[in-house]
Amino acid sequence: MKIVKKNMKNIDPIYEASKDPRFESYVEAAKIRGRIGMEVFSKRKELNMTQQELARAVGTTQKVISSIENGDTNPGSVLLVRIAKKLNFNSYNLTKIFDCPEAVMVINSYTFSTPIII
């Protein structure tokens, strides 16, 4: 027999979370992680590389590459630059990730410096 509690309100967890002032920044961060993951996955497949091959080439593990491609983790600037170099990212790929079509992405090819949007 199912017990039904009266006076229970249906609570929408997304609606409740959206009331938090930090919610928008969390959503934006998740969008960026998702775009990074999609670009890494598509470029890796385009180059016929496995996650393991990419991981070895950039000095990380297959699990980290999988997590990046799934949008579960932020790779950080150093790892992102290594991945971008290995996958031959161009300015088009980077502007898709950061959703800045008018931006110029500058990456110093001699160091692992952070991308700069100017």
Question: In b/e form, how buried is each residue of 15-27, taking b as 16+ CB within 10 angstroms?
Answer: eeeeeeeeeeeee
Structural domains of the chain, ranges and CATH numbers in brackets: 13-117 (1.10.260.40)
Asked whether the predicted pLDDT for residue 105 surpasses 50, the reply is: no
Asked whether the predicted pLDDT for residue 112 surpasses 60, the reply is: no
27, 29, 31, 36: CA torsion to nearest 10: -170
pTM for the full predicted model: 0.70
pLDDT digits (tens, 9 = 90+) for 25-75: 888 888 888 989 999 999 999 999 999 999 999 999 999 999 999 999 888
Asked whether the predicted pLDDT for residue 103 surpasses 90, the reply is: no
